[in-house]
């Protein structure tokens, strides 16, 4: 699926189904709105999937994996070889997200869109666009063509999930250095100083953090990414994993597949997707608010409410996975709970 085809296929999530799902919640024999964000999430799933009868299984976490040339600037604790190691662990079912997903009844699908390793990693879906990005202090991270190709790889993964019968998606990422690229992207899209949207990632020292902010600020100054053109911003200071996630969200919207975000990095990609095609927003659910400084900022920009506030910042799709059991419980109430009419009790009324 080309990016243009995906964008043309997107229709707004059904407002009629939103209203019907809201009415169903209001009929459930419990205080109005008492499950909070979880009620809104079930409503969003109904509207996005096109069915009042909410179904949450089968489901899968798609993890986009890619390496970032900016790592050479000393913005991380570890080298980029760790990306392929963790992706391999995912393929074997041994990473954090896999262990959590096993408990949550979800599949994990790691996808190589730009890891620097030359050899294919067994069990990792190969959608490689390039062997990592360039150091954006030296040249743009990607060409625009590479960026679009990565986005199309993401959109194709969404279509593949739909064709395989999945009804709910989660999203994650793996790429050493991608808190740097996502913070750079958010600095551009939110028009905010890099220091305000940049955190310590996987545990930088103060000196390392200061270097990270300096690299992002200098990269934006040199590359001049456009806040009005997310594809330009992605290509100049983003990453292949970010671009693939952006395309994945566009693809999910195009084929009516509700998708759960993880933390900061997936949020940055989602913001790019919504800026490209605003109707994508109706297909997104927030799982948690990341402990990274811009975690709450990006959700505010997307207009999404997280169900979980647990100080998480692990990545890999772990936050999205953590939301699945909560959605299961909310869906059980939504579909199985008696109505006020069933138990012959006057319904609660909305008070103005």
CA 13 → CA 17, 18, 59, 215, 256, distances in Å?
8, 8, 19, 39, 8
Tens of pLDDT along 164-207?
Answer: 999 999 999 999 999 999 999 999 999 999 999 999 887 788 99
DSSP state of 348: P
Active site residues: 316
Cis peptide before 2 (omega within 30 of 0): no
The H or E element containing residue 207 is helix 206-223
> Is the pLDDT confidence value at 345 over 80?
yes
pLDDT digits (tens, 9 = 90+) for 13-51: 999 999 999 999 999 999 999 999 999 999 999 999 999
Q: Give the H or E element holding residue 230.
A: helix 230-237
CA-CA distance, 223 to 69, in Å (whole number)? 15
pTM above threshold 0.85: yes
Name the residue with higher pLDDT: 296 or 1: 296
pLDDT of residue 352 exceeding 70, the answer is: no
Q: What is the pLDDT of residues 249-295, one digit of tens each?
A: 999 999 999 999 999 999 999 999 999 999 999 999 999 999 999 99
> In the chain, pLDDT over 90 holds for what percent of residues?
93
Burial 12-49 (b: 16+ CB within 10 A, else e): ebbeebbeebbebbbebeeeeeebebbbbbbbbbbbbb
pLDDT of residue 329: 98
Query: What pLDDT, on a 0 to 100 scale, did the predictor assign at position 341?
Result: 87
Give the pLDDT band of residue 350 (cuts 50, 70, 90): confident
Question: Cα(first)–Cα(last) distance of the chain, in Å?
Answer: 47
CA distance 89 to 216: 30
Domains identified in the chain and CATH numbers: 1-13+56-327 (3.40.50.10210)
Distances in Å between the Cα of 236 and the Cα atoms of 173, 231, 232 are: 19, 9, 6
Confidence of residue 348 (pLDDT cuts 50, 70, 90): confident
pLDDT, residue 202, reads 76
How far apart are alpha carbons 158 and 62 in whole angstroms? 9
- Average pLDDT of the segment spanning 112-124: 97
Return the higher-pLDDT residue of 342 and 51. 51
Residues 256 and 24: their CA atoms lie apart, in Å, by 21
Strands (E) located in the chain: 59-66, 107-114, 125-126, 168-174, 259-260, 284-285
Q: What is the mean pLDDT of residues 113-130?
A: 97
Mind listing the pLDDT tens digit for each residue in 283-333?
999 999 999 999 999 999 999 999 999 999 999 999 999 999 999 999 999
Q: Say yes or no to pLDDT of 85 above 80.
A: yes
Measure the CA–CA gap between 96 and 101, rounded to whole angstroms. 9
């Amino acid at each position: 699926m080309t990016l243009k085809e995906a964008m043309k296929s997107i229709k707004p999530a059904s407002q009629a189904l939103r209203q019907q799902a809201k009415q169903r919640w209001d009929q459930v024999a419990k205080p109005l709105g008492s499950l909070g964000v979880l009620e809104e999430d079930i409503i969003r799933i109904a509207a996005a999937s096109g069915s009042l009868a909410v179904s949450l299984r089968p489901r899968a976490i798609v993890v986009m994996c890619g390496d970032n040339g900016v790592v050479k600037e000393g913005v991380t604790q570890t080298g980029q070889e760790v990306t392929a190691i963790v992706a391999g662990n995912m393929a074997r079912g041994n990473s954090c997200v896999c262990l959590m997903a096993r408990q949550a009844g979800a599949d994990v699908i790691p996808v190589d869109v730009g890891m620097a390793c030359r050899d294919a990693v067994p069990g990792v879906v190969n959608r490689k666009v390039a062997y990592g990005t360039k150091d954006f202090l030296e040249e743009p991270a990607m060409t625009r063509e590479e960026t679009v190709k990565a986005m199309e790889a993401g959109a194709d993964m969404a279509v593949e999930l739909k064709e395989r019968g999945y009804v709910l998606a989660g999203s994650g990422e793996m790429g050493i250095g991608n808190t740097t690229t996502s913070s750079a992207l958010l600095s551009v899209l939110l028009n905010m100083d890099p220091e305000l949207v940049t955190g310590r990632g996987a545990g930088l020292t103060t000196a390392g953090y200061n270097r990270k902010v300096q690299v992002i600020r200098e990269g934006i100054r040199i590359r001049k990414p456009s806040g009005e053109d997310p594809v330009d911003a992605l290509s100049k200071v983003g990453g292949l994993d970010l671009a693939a996630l952006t395309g994945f969200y566009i693809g999910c919207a195009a084929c009516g597949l509700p998708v759960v975000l993880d933390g900061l990095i997936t949020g940055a990609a989602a913001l790019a997707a919504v800026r490209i095609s605003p109707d994508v927003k109706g297909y997104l659910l927030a799982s948690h608010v990341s402990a990274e400084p811009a975690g709450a900022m990006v959700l505010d920009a997307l207009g999404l409410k997280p169900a979980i506030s647990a100080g998480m910042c692990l990545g890999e799709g772990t936050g999205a996975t953590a939301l699945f059991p909560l959605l299961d419980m909310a869906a059980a109430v939504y579909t199985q709970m008696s109505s006020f009419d069933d138990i012959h009790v006057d319904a609660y009324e909305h008070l103005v």
